[in-house]
Chain A
Amino acid sequence: MGRRSKIGISLAMVSALTLSACGSGDDSGSSDTVRVTLVNHVWTENIRKALPEFERETGLKVEVTQLGEDQLSDQYNVKLNAGSSDIDVMMYRPLQEGRLFAKNKYLADLTDKAKGSSDFDLADFQAAPLSATTYEDKVVGVPIITEQQVLYYRKDLLEKSGFSAPPATLDELKTQAAKIQADNPGVAGFVARTGKAAAVTQFSSFLFSFGGDFVDESGKSAVSTDAAKQAYAYYGGLLREHGPANISTDMSWSEAMAIFTQGQAAFYPEANSLYKNATDPAKSKVSENVGFAPFPAGPAGSKPYNVPSWGLAVNDASKNQDNAWKFIQWAAGKAQTLEQQKAGVPGARTSVWENPEGIATYPKDMAEAITVSLANGVGHDRPVVERVAQAREIVGQPIVDAITGKDAAASAEAANQAFQKFLDDEAR
């Protein structure tokens, strides 16, 4: 054997060893260990505590990988893309990446399993969140955490300005914000998210309540309809005229919430899931005076979003799908959902919302506001497309233009053209 071939063989052996080491995470077929990837969230903390109960009941073992939101996304992009089978159950964001994942066939079809189980009772899930985890009439995920938009407000400021109730309509919201701002120098009448992409989700309830949407029924861009133009002008105008001084166009929920909890704003429309930031005395200077109201009605009524922020799905490449479903059946089942909701995590099951125990821990006015959202809620809060981040920037442009005093209608026309081009690109 020549020297070269010896070297060749040793190189081949070294690389074979290295490659086999890399591939050790491969799947061993159906196994009694369910590998679950979850995000850092209160829901996850609660479920981890309850895991021994599930393991006792089923004899299965659960292996949890817990990651931050961005790392979770990166991990899915790498692993699911490569067809890896070492994730069985995955926690994902149905509205942000659900469509992309479903189209790329990362998510297993759960229709038969979900509809076949009477205990699980798929019909018990609220329609709007369930529609977000359904792709081409197939159930590809199960919503576990929902969010609804409500109006946070300051009871003391309302009272001081002589208002007996929070605004029921968007017109009243404007009037009350203006009066409170005039009565309290240094305090803004209204604060909300202002970042181009960050504001889109909270702006969506305004858009729906004005009678608009991001995409119309025929799949065309709808961000320059009269309703949309009015909504952009209203949201931007309210922030420009009655928002905080020196308003920035980069505010996400954390900045807007900080202004509200520092006592510098009267009204703040935001997701209910963040309410503890406002009512916790350790985080909020105004914790005792915070009230919650249903989203004010616009020309088309009160139409806040009611969306699943997180869902559970089964990796299509997993070879352990039956056991993966058992986990979902338990984690998204009625008993666990009730426990989660009692611990402050809003779920998607109607029966739990109707159960007095399910809302006992929420502030009373918050529970009432959520009830309104559940009845009229829209199942999305951003354009339902594959490349959501890019779409949010396009439809968010008129928001920041309106805030900075530019012509909102002209900006909506421009955004409409760009968004239509984006939709055409994506349809190709």
Chain B
Amino acid sequence: MPAVTAPSRTPRGAGVMPDTPGWARWANDHRKWLFAAPAMAFVAALIIFPLAWTIYLSLTDSSGSVRAESEFIGLRNYLDVLSDTDRFWPAVGRTAAFTGAALFFEVVLGMAIALLLWRPFKGEKWVRVAILLPLVATPVAVGMMWRLIFDPNIGMANQILGWVGIGPQPWLAGQNSALATTIFIDIWQWTPMVVLILLAGLTSLSDEPQEAAMIDGASTWQRFRHVTLPLLMPTVIVAVLLRGIDALKTFDILYATKGRGGGSFNEVETLNVYAYGLSFDYNEYGLSSTVLILFFLIIIGVMWLLTSRKKKEAGR
């Protein structure tokens, strides 16, 4: 009693005419891999290979020359770098200080400006354009411009201070003030981006919770603290993540204002500037790769901390 049972699942090659050539059938069977293949090749060629190569270089004493042979030296570079309290650890400290300070001020200022621009007002368009201007300039040009403005002797900054009776400041020239000045430049250039993200978040909020809070008699601060901010939190986190990663890897502003080594006393030498100098000024490609791998691990660590914290909050 032949009973025809329905197949438990669609057979392979379903939908393909029985006389289609073999390759088409094969392609159809493996389409999920075929469609993903370009992306996978891209990732392999542009991310995995360079990363693996950098790890390999970090285990050698490569000097960047194909003709000069490099020797495999195991973890010696790592020991050298991790015990280097002269350049490496100060650079880690500066990277953290630069990122932390820039991020803090950019988010606070960005929030304040976004709140001001939230409600429509006259001339709003012009104000928005003006605020976005720093964002469109290339960081190297921005660095050069501020370098001129902050020149201690012929720069505009000290001249303006002079008009209001304040003595000249060393700005970028001072050993203690240089890092703070570069943080200021970063804030000047990148706060608009935070404004842009937060403003997008604010305009997408619905008005009801605000109106309800107003009817309940909440003050402006209370409304911001207990209504707007919690609702805006996902956007704030996006802004912090995007800007944080960007600030960590800042290079152009630092190099354009202080040059190699982050100045004569390495005043603004962050991990990026240090690694660049090791490879392109010193030809120490092995050591430079080591610094970059350690930098990479630091970033992964920070990201892991942030995301696990976010998960914890979500689980509460």
Contact = CB atoms under 8 A, between A and B. Distances in A.
Interface string A186-228: 0000000011110000000000000000000000000000000
Contacts of B168: 245-246
A250 interface: yes
Contacts of B26: 3
A393 B274 CA distance: 14
Given A104-B67, A390-B282, A262 B154 contact: yes
A197 B68 contact: no
Interface of B: 22-23, 26, 64-68, 151-154, 158, 168-170, 172-173, 175, 258-261, 263-265, 281-283
B258 A250 contact: yes
A389 B281 contact: yes
B170 A104 contact: no
B152 A82 contact: no
B212 to A, nearest CB: 57
B65 A249 contact: no
A255 B168 CA distance: 17
A196 B283 contact: no
Contact of B153 (A246, A249, A396): A246
A258 to B, nearest CB: 6
Contacts, number: 73
Interface in A389-422: 389-390, 393, 396, 400, 404
A390 B261 CA distance: 10
A248 B172 contact: yes
A245 B264 contact: no
Given A3-B23, A389-B282, A196 B264 contact: yes
A77 B263 CA distance: 25
Interface string A229-251: 00000000000000011111110
A390 B281 contact: yes
A397 B36 CA distance: 54
- Chain B, interface SS category: loop
B153 A196 contact: no
B175 A404 contact: yes
B263 A249 contact: yes
Given A195-B264, A389-B281, A400-B264, A259 B154 contact: yes
Nearest to B63: A387
A396 B64 CA distance: 25
B103 to A, nearest CB: 26
Contacts of B175: 249, 404
Contact of A393 (B22, B170, B173, B261): B261
A264 interface: yes
Given A104-B68, A195-B259, A248 B173 contact: yes
B283 A387 contact: yes
Contacts of A264: 153-154
A250 B172 contact: yes
Contacts of A111: none
Interface string A70-90: 000000010001110000000
Contacts of A197: 260-261
Given A249-B173, A389-B281, A404-B175, A196 B65 contact: no
Given A194-B264, A249-B173, 14 more contacts: A3-B26, A77-B64, A82-B66, A83-B67, A104-B67, A244-B153, A246-B152, A246-B168, A248-B172, A250-B172, A387-B283, A393-B281, A400-B264, A404-B175
Interface in A239-289: 244-250, 252, 255, 258-259, 262, 264
A258 B153 CA distance: 10
B41 to A, nearest CB: 12
Given A82-B66, A387-B283, A250 B259 contact: yes
A250 B66 contact: no
Contacts of A249: 173, 175, 263-265
